[in-house]
Amino acid sequence: MSTDVPRFGPGSLLYETYGDRRGYLLAPLEGLLQLMYPSLGKGVQQHSDFFNEPWERLFRSVPQIQGMIYDGPDAPHTAAQVRDFHKDIKGTMDDGERYHALDPHTYFWAHATFIDTAWRARDLFAQRPYTHDEKAAVYEEGIAWWQMYGMSMRVVPPTYDDFVEYWNHTIDNVLEPTPSARGLIDYFDSAGDMPQPWIPQALWRILAPSVSEAWRQLLVGTLPPQLRDLYGYRWTRANQLAFDTFRQAVARTWPLLPESVRVMPRARAAYRREGRTGLRVALERASTRPRQLRAAG
């Protein structure tokens, strides 16, 4: 990583926050947004066993991606591993056009959903969301995170405001209800029918109805309204009240939990190895850091 971008260590906003397990509460949303990107959805459809092992795939991939933030000197190697895992994911769309997982537009959309998690988790499940300027600081680090892949910068919106415009345009004009996305919707609509290898089947038959309904409500509650409409989900004032009650409960109780529950193992290992400043100090540093507008090119 070059010296003109934030370092992923103590004082970095991503370093101080991205290991928070509340990010998993957004896994259904971000997973669906990825699968709705046509070329990404096609790659999962043709090259992944995602729907037979959705949770195993999630718990395998997220720690590796977090490793780019928490692996210290080994982070560039982690980035190369994550990128190169996608080298052979390629094929043909239904209209005959070729796709490749490492096409910068496709790959950046996946990266965009991970950046989005950084501030959406706080917007929804923390007592104080980020301000606009704090989100802009997080986004600057998200650009540095992308640079670790060694891929084209031409697809990268140069500022947070540009990113928001790109994000909204993609949701409104690019995303589609692909077969992979429909499969994920079906999974959350009937997750109890799908075995979970790490849970005894007798126990899963008891837990499945309530667990699958909770995950479905979490997905629908975090969906943009236009995507709720697209998939035919009815969302009432009562649904919103229940969702807001859950969000507020998480925000109030989360700081009371032990670190081993709140923070992912890879982040805890980095904190033991390198220390941390805490979020307050990281925010103060971000507020004094000069804004660097990185033009794509």
Q: What is the pLDDT of residue 110?
A: 95
Please check whether residue 297 lies inside any domain of the structure: no
Q: Is residue 157 part of a domain?
A: yes
Is 118's pLDDT higher than 70? yes
Q: Domain for residue 1, yes or no?
A: no
Which range marks the domain in which residue 183 is found?
13-288
Give the pLDDT mean for 146-158.
95
Confidence of residue 25 (pLDDT cuts 50, 70, 90): very high
Q: Is residue 241 part of a domain?
A: yes
Q: What is the pLDDT of residues 183-210, one digit of tens each?
A: 888 877 775 656 566 667 777 677 777 7
Could you please report the per-residue DSSP string of the chain? --TTS--SSTT-HHHHHTTBGGGGGGHHHHHHHHHTSHHHHHHHHHH--GGGSHHHHHHHHHHHHHHHHHSGGGHHHHHHHHHHTTTT-EEE-TTS-EEETT-HHHHHHHHHHHHHHHHHHHHHHSSSPPPHHHHHHHHHHHHHHHHTTT--STTS-SSHHHHHHHHHHHHHHT----HHHHHHHHHHHSGGGS--TTS-HHHHHHHHHHHHHHHHHHHHHHS-HHHHHHTT----HHHHHHHHHHHHHHHHHGGGS-HHHHB-HHHHHHHHHH----HHHHHHHHHHSPP------
Tell me the pLDDT tens digit for each residue of 255-275.
Answer: 999 999 999 999 999 999 999
Count of the separate structural domains present in the chain: 1
Does residue 4 lie in a domain region? Answer: no
> Has residue 56 got a pLDDT over 90?
no
Predicted pLDDT at 53: 59
Classify residue 224: in a domain, yes or no. yes
For residue 8, is it within any domain? no
Q: Does residue 296 lie in a domain region? A: no
As a whole number, mean pLDDT of residues 118-140 equals: 95
Q: What is the pTM of this model?
A: 0.88
